[in-house]
């Protein structure tokens, strides 16, 4: 269950990061609201997941998911250029996230 919550929290990290960028310095109401709600939910989920998943692994996976999805969303919406190098680097990041999950033994 902790891994599922961690993944959802990583997705919420991408949501709040994107909303923060769209808030124009927290001056736009709805992107700012989405930012604060997404941030709070993401942090609560990360904290919960860290009860069962080692801190380093949980944080790296959380950041990796959030960063990957943020870049993917930016490419889909046209905010960031799509390139083969960017896609290759994202695949490497995702591969590292999967690798951390595979070697995780939980808290010892």
d(CA 4, CA 7): 5
pTM of the model: 0.90
Residue-wise pLDDT for 78-107, tens only, equals 999 999 999 999 999 999 988 988 887 765
Residue-wise pLDDT for 11-42, tens only, equals 999 999 999 999 999 999 999 999 999 999 99
CB atoms within 10 A of CB 31: 18
Residue-wise pLDDT for 39-63, tens only, equals 999 999 999 999 999 999 999 999 9
6 backbone φψ class: left, alpha, beta (φ>0; ψ -120 to 50): alpha
**Pick from 92, 104, 95: which is nearest to 3 by CA?**
104
- Position 100 scores a pLDDT of 86
**Pick from 96, 35, 37, 102: which is nearest to 70 by CA?**
35
The answer to whether residues 48 and 12 touch, using CB atoms and an 8 Å cutoff, is no
d(CA 1, CA 102): 16
């Amino acid at each position: 269950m902790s891994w599922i919550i961690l993944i959802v929290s990583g997705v919420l990290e991408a949501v709040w990061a994107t909303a923060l960028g769209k808030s124009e310095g927290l001056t736009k109401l709805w992107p700012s609201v989405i930012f604060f709600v997404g941030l709070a939910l993401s942090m609560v989920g990360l904290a919960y997941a860290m009860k069962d998943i080692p801190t380093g692994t949980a944080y790296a996976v959380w950041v990796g998911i959030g960063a990957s999805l943020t870049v993917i969303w930016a490419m889909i919406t046209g905010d960031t250029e799509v390139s083969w190098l960017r896609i290759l680097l994202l695949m490497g990041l995702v591969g590292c996230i999967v690798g951390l999950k595979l070697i995780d033994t939980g808290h010892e």
